[in-house]
Structure formats: structure tokens, C-alpha cells
Chain A
Amino acid sequence: MMNEKSESQQQHLETFSYDDDVTKLFVTATLIWGAVAMFLGVLVAFQLADWRLNFGIEWLTFGRLRPLHTNAAIFAFAGNGFFAGIYHSMQRLLKCRMFNDTLGRIHFWGWQLIIVCAAITLPMGLSRSKEYAELEWPIGIMITIVWVVFAVNFFGTLFKRREKHIYVAIWFYIATIVTVAVLHIVNSLAIPVSWTKSYSIYAGVQDALVQWWYGHNAVAFFLTTPFLGLMYYFVPKAANRPIYSYRLSIIHFWSLVFLYIWAGPHHLLYSALPEWVQTLGVVFSISLWAPSWGGMINGLLTIRGVWHRLRTDHTLKFLATALTFYGMSTFEGPLLSIKSVNSLAHFTSWIVGHVHSGTIGWNYFMVAGIFYYLIPYLWKTKLYSQKLGHLHFWTATIGLLFYIVSMWVAGVTQGLMWRAIDQTTGMLVYPNFVETVIRIVPMYWIRAFGGVLVLTSFLIMMYNFYKTIQGAPKKVKPEEFQAPALHAQKHEATQGHRKLEGLPAIFSVLVVIAILVGSAIEILPGLLSNHFIEENPDIKPLTALEQAGRDIYTREGCFYCHSQMIRPMPHETMRYGKRSTAAEYVYDHPFQWGSRRTGPDLARIGGKYPNMWHYRHMIDPREMTPGSIMPVYDWLIYREIDFEILPEKLTALRKVGVPYSDEEIQNAVADAKEQAESVSYMLTETGVDASIQDKEIVALIAYLQRLGVDAGESTEFQFTEENLEAEE
């Protein structure tokens, strides 16, 4: 058919080449950052198995490296990976070179600069303390600028294209670009205190809702839609046959884009979030099963007839496995969203296993499959070693299985231990949290072993690609192609969706509407009306010193392992105290509810132990809690509190709605010093040097002792036998 068309339009043919160099740049960056991300993952995995593996260095502590691992995996590895795939496929799908080569280079180098900034600032503890949105505001602005550069280049290419129809892959790319922009900007809104510190404009429940609307849609629109677009290009390409059902792809696209945006609240089930938002999140999460599996089936059935090639073709093998893992994790996701399942699984390692079956099984395997096609194609050569390709596949798959299964076992075990209540006494069977930690440490070792296999597989792939590129012919003249210009093509009568596909601007607007419906219905009521939160006059803002302590809490990433959200279940209230309510969080910028309880919940830790307990616990957690896997935080003993910045911090917080008076702001430094003296009194009484009172640990203790106190429980240190023993 192509021949017929071109014969009749021979006179209009334009000659062009593709910008493959930019793709090569992104391919190279993906390989480098992928190794870094997986190495960091393995390191933090071992840190959970053995607490000593931060080597006593604050920059290598779990709380600071975990965000670096997640950011590296998501934005550096998967991001560069899909940029490579998009730059390659969109030029071919639209039969034209990228709009502007320079914009492509700015996009590339800008993105790498952002990653380098992340790699420097996160270990330093500069963090907004919101998962996958940790980067401080100057870097956030850089992300926005680079994203706009990418968008201009992308839409510019769409407008100068030579192919009338916009293939389904491109729709997924459009959805990615517009939605990530909306998510990033809305979730990043903050008031800066300095170049390296800012406070989210949202507080408590609102912040939680916006954060997980962002967080879940980072999964949806950064790790899913671009990769689905790539799937729609590379699976037909590798199988050398068109997609199984183009009709299904239309239903797949619109239903996925419309439904996904609603799913965020499933991260906050049983929390202080309003019930109706939770229910909406659950309903839409379960609905998502349909489009996700529609897409998976569409991809897998494209391979029908060429299944035998899976034995020899690394591209097909990895893509098919990626689709299989995609199917499994998108089955597991809706399952985990069901409230009764979530009540067991939430805060456990099960969620960690689920995430990695998606990121490793889907994203890593997609990137690998695409690169086995792309690298020989771009460098005009053959793969260096087929055998290494097989070794890569099996090492990665077996490693991932070790990872997922160990996390399932760990998650279910710990979840069941937390909720176990003795039938006869009505007491918790495992009242000491640390018992449930010690029980799953062997699973942490197995997970780390699985991680080592996955990292090894990646290094094998890198070596194979390195040798492939090394052996490639140098200086190959770029291929040239011909196609008629769009305006020279005979205009057929177009209607309906076909016409829509020819109008990228209107198409993009419809995508924006599709994602804004769910966003508006879930988020706006909470933002516009504070009446959704019952007020509690007992809840007061933190003092200046406590705020300084909270900033240390966020800097160290405490919330990665400790939640601050007691769910309304008997075992939770028996273990931690009265259930958490929305009113308690109205001054929390940002919220610190957490998503994983590697250690116990801290929502009502205030007054539970004496100051001396916290002091000694930070120096040696195992002295207070034998078997604890928490790292040592001895630098808090040496580092001094930055008192001078406190007025600015309180001023910034006042701008976002915390009712500090002028007097409190003016006297912030003096008030903080006074409170520091009284907090450290109990420490110095028992022999700690008096110089402790301007050290960070005092601020952190002040904050911890305040947690949950306003809500009216455990206001005083309770002189129970257990606590007295601990004090001795």
C-alpha cells in the first residue's frame, strides 16, 4: 500500500534523516544510571539486613540513600530509558527528524545535571521529605524547565510530521508529558526558607492526598504510560507484525488514562483521610485491573505465531517477560487496594516486593528488551554475545523472584505478627515491635541476595552492550529516508477519532481533561474546604526548637522507616495508642505519615520514654532495644542546632498557614535556647556534658517528646516497670 501511495506522489517526496545521536546519548546514560541505581538498591538492602553497613557515615545512612535509590531508579534509569525509546520511535512513527537537535541536547544534559544534583543533595539530607518528590525547590524548578524543553521539542516534532495518523504509542507519550507536568508542579508547591530548605504549602491530610495523587501517578505516568507507548512500538517491531488489536489499544488508552489518576488514595487506606476519598481510590484501583490487563493481553497476543523466537530473540524474550510481570503487578496492585487486604499488607515489605515486581519486572525488562533491539540497530552492528544475553535474562529473572518471594513472606509474616491478639488474654502476642523485626531479618538477607543477582544481570548486560558498541563500525553515514510532506498528501475524508488523531493540540487537551476529572473530584474539596477536617483546639503548632527537631527528622528520612499514622484497628491502638485523627496534622508541612514500618509507629511516642532513653537510643539503638536494626545516629551528638535560621523558618511556616504570632517569631531563638536547656537538663543530671544543649539531638528529642502529646494521650512519662528498667 505504501508503494501505491508513494508512486502517485513521487514528485512530492522529501528526503530526511533521523537524529539518532540523541538516542545514543540517552541509551548510554540509562546504562550508567541503571547500574548506579541498582548498586544503591543493593547497598540499602544490605543495610536493612545489617545495620553497620552505613560504615558510621551519615551520608551513607539508609534514610538518605533510600531516596537516592528510588530517584535514581525512577528518574535516572527509567527516565533516560524511555527518553531513548521515545526519541527513537517517535521520529520513525512520524516519519520526520526531531523538531530541533539542540533542544534534544539541552533536554539530555539538563536531565543529567538534575540527576547529579540529586546525587549530591540527597545524601546531604536536603530533602522535601515527600516520596519520589524529595528534591528541593531549585532542582524542582530545573526539572520543570527541562520538561518544558522536552515538551517543546516533542510537540514541535508532532507539528512538522509527515505521517498523518498519530499512532497509539504517541498518545501514551502525550499523556506522559502533560500529566507529569501537572503532577510535578502541583505537588512541588512550597514556600522556600533558603536555597536548600522549603515547606510544602499543603499540610497534613491535604499534603498526604496531594502527595499520593502525585506518588501513585508517578508510577502511572512515569513508569507505565511511556513504557506502554514503547510497548506498542517495540513489540510489533520485534515480532514484525502489527499490534494484535488496534481497537483494543484505543479502549486501553482512554480507560487507563482516565482511571489511573483516581487511584492515589489507596496509599492512605484506614488513615485520617476522609472515608469517601478512600472509597473512590479503592473503586478506581480495582477498575484499573481491566485496562492494565487489556494492554498486557494486546501486547502478548501480538507475539502469537512467533513464540518460538522467544528462545533466540532477546528483545522478544525480555518484552514478553516484562509484559508478564506487568500483568502480575497490575493484578497485585488492585488486590492490595482492597481494604481488608490492605489492612494486612500496608506498612509491610509486601508493598516493597510489589513495587519491585513492577520496577524490575516491567521497567528494567522493558528497557533491556528495547535496548537489545536498539543498540545493534543504532550502532549498525550485531550483538556481541548471544550467550551472555541468555545469562543476563536468567540472572535477572531468578534474582527478581528471590526478591519478590522473600518480600511476600516477610510482609505477610510481619503483618500477621503485628495483628496477632491472644484469644484468652486479649493482649498482643508480640507486644515488642522488635520481635517482628528480628523474625524477618533472614528475609532481608534473601532479598539482598536477589538484589545482587539483579545487579549482576545488569552488569552482564552492560558488558555485552559495551563489547557490541566497541565492535561496531566507526563513522557510518546516517541513513536517509523519503516520505511525502504532510500538506502534499491527498486529504481523505476524515472523521471521528481519525480526525482527532490528526489534531495533536485538541487530543492533548482531551487527555488533560481526562486526568483532571479525577484529580478535581478527589483533591479540590479537601483543598477548598477545611471543614472536612474537624478542628481540635488542643492541637498547637510546634515550638521553635521542636520545629528544628522536625527538620532534623525530615533530613534524616526517619519517615522511610517510621510511620506517624495509627490506624483504627484494635492491634494498632493497643500497640501505639488512640487512633490518629485528621485534626492532629493540620500544622504538618509536610505530612510524615510514612509508608513502611521498618520500625514502630511514632505518632504517639511523645512522653513514652524519658529523654535519656532517646539520647542513648540514638547513640546505640541496641542498648535500648536489643535486636534493633536501626543505624547509629551519633552525629546528632556533635552537630550544632542552627538557631539563627529559626525565625525565618517560622515566618515561612506562617506563610503556609501555621499561626505563629509576631512575638513567637521574634523570640524564636531565645525560646528555642530556653527549651533546649530544659530538655538537656535531664541528660546533664545523669552525667552528659553540658555542651549537649546546643546539639541537634536535643532538638530531635524535643520534637519526639511532643509527638501525639496534644491529642491528649500519654502526656506524661509513664513510670511503668518496663520504662524504669529501660531508664536504668
Chain B
Amino acid sequence: MNVAVVKPTPERALGELFATARDRLPGSGIVSEVREAAFAEFAKRGLPNRRVEEWKYTDLRALLREVAPLAAAPDQAALAKAATAVAALDVIDAYKLVLVDGVFAPKLSDVSALEAGVRLNTLSEVLEDRDNKVRGDLLLTNATSDVMVSLNAAMATDGFVLNVDDNVALKKPIHIVHVATQTGTAAFTRSLLRVGKGAQATLVESFAAAAGAQTYQVHDAVVVWVGDDAQVQHVRLVEDSHDASNVSTAIVTLGAKTQFNSFNLTSGSVLSRYQGFLRFGGEHANATINGVNLLKDRQHGDTTLVLDHAVPHCDSREVFRAVVDDRAHSVFQGRINVHPDAQKTDARMMTRALLLSDEAEADNKPELEIFADDVQCGHGATTGALDESLLFYLRARGLSEKEAQALLIQAFVGEAMESIADEQLRELAIATAERWLAARG
């Protein structure tokens, strides 16, 4: 047993992180090579700090300090705790796929119930499949060189590889549930969803903690390809424990005439970063990417979206709302790249922050880079407090201060939730926001 009292330097901790995890990471051969290269990239650059422009408001070196050691595979006790946490989630009619501490938990999942037209594999089984010559590609992306995505590729233990066949319309959402049961460890997960041409699918992702799980880290990535004429809804709910960290990435590629509708709600985690990279790869596609941050105490929540309008005739809409209380800090960065050929792009981004205390902070960074000349791009950002005249009107009608605030906050975030087409998922988002408001007292 090592009894050294010297705190390891971040660099040393980094090396140990991969060395000790290596034996547990699924995949050999090409997969190992991809992991080695990805980790080398991470080791070279380290956790992003404020001098990295994309991370300037979320300095992981200061806020996360170091990447926690890989979580152990869940034992029976952990699975039992996770089952309780899953049962406590809001009930939605969906195919539930549960990852406990980064490992697929079949007994907590609805695998057998999956509809015809959906193929499901776990990430670990595909990575272990030596006959699959392209299995290493599951850990690669050319959408971003973000270092946290490299770390995820190096360390991913499990996740799902889902294929929805062409022209299949799934009746129920696929619901990936991430449950943490441990304290002080990190789970690394990666899932891939390929939606065939003309198909329709809904992906829900929930992040939750089992009782007693504290200061854990979630490192997740989701890669989605939407085939031509397909329709995809994507809803994320981050309700991790109040001292956990969650660094997640979504990489989305849209085919022609697709409709992609995405909504993220972050109310948990002391530190969270959700970064979305969305690329329009076919004409006449339409994307709505909305989000809400509900932050209090000393929470830091960062939503960073990068949209690439690479082809003409695509529309994008982004509506983001932040409600920031106490000493919390919300970040929204929205980048829209309109490539030279992407004429007739129509891109709009609106972000609003509501500050509920004098010490709350919100940063909005819109960035538009436009290389085509016949486009419509617009963005707006506001930051302010609740309107006193509205509060007084409600209080004069009998609502307490907290009730009046809650009603106005619901209305404020409701604007970003209107776009959730599926009613049960919209209700789920509203219920999650209500829970946050109720916890304010």
C-alpha cells in the first residue's frame, strides 16, 4: 500500500489514471491503439483551462482539478442502489437502458421489449468484437478535437450502439439512464445512435445519483447520425447530485430534410458542461436546440453549442434560458459557422438569463462566423432580474414571494420547453423544473 503523503501532481495523476484503468477497458488491437492515441492527446494538453478559448468561462483545471479514478464495475449492492434510484425517476413510457457507474445493467433495462427495426449492442461488446474491422471508429470523431472528447475515447467503458432501420418510426423513446452509485470516482460512457432514412426516433438521457453517491464525475459522449428525411427528438435531463461533475458532449450530423429537435435541462451537478456539435450535412434540414440551466448555491453550469451550417437551405433555432440563484454561475456559448456554400441559411439564437441574487452570474457568448452572403442570422442575449411589477401583481393576488417567483420562473423557462413536441417529455421537463423550484423553499 502506498502511504506517500505527497499529493500527486495532476500530470502524474493523469498517467496513473490510464495505466490503472487500461486492463478494464474493453477492446484490444485497433481499439487499444485508438485509446492510446486519444489518451496521449489528453495527456499532452491536459484539462482545459481558461486560456483555451472554448473553455474560458469553465476552467476545468480550477474547477474539476483532476480526473477522478475510473469507477469500479458495479457489484450487487451498487446495482440494488441503482435500481432504487431508477425506480425514483419520473415514469415515462420508454425503452429504458441503464448504465450504472459506466457499465450496462441489463437487469435494470428493457432490452427484450425493444421494437422491431431497432438493433441494440452495448459499446463494450462491439469494441470486443474482433471480427468488426471498424470497431475503432466508434471512439473516433472528426467533428471536434476537443480534449474532453479525446479523454472520453480513451476511457469509455460502455454505452450503447443503436441502429434504427430506414423508415421505422419508433413508438416509444429510447431512454438512456446514467446512474452513479460511487463516491469520488469517474464513469466514462459513449453511445452512438444511427437513425436510418425516413425513420423517427426519440432519445432521452437522464443523469441521476443513487443515494449516498457524492463527488463523482460523469464523462459522457453521444454521437448521433440522422439519415435523410428522418426525424429525431433528443431530450437530456441532468439531475446529478449537487456535488457531482458532468462533462458531456453530443455530436450530431444531420442528413437532408431532417428534423432534429433537442432540449437539455441541467439542474444538478456542482460543475457541468454540456457541449453540442451539430453539423448540417444535407440541405433543407431543420434543427431546434433549446436548453435551460437551473442553478443555485455554487453550481457552475456551462452549455456550449457549435452549429455548422455546411450546406445551403437549412434552418436552426436556439432558445436558451438560465435561472441563476445564490452564487451560481451559468455559461452559454453559442457558435454558428455558416460555410461559404451555405446560402439561404436561416439561423437564430436567443439566450436569456434571470439572476435571482446579487451574487449570481451569467455569461453569454454568441459567436457568428458567416462566409455566405445570402443568409439570415440573428442572435440576442439578455440578463436581468425578475420584473418587480409582475411580482407585486401576483403577490397582490395572494401568492407568496416564492410562489410568485416560481410562477414567473416557470413561464421564463417554459419558452425554451415549448419546442419539446412529445407531450410526456415536455411534462417531464416541466416536472423537473418544478422540483428545482420547490427545493428553493
Do chains A and B stick together as partners?
A: no
Binding site for B on A (CB under 8 A): none
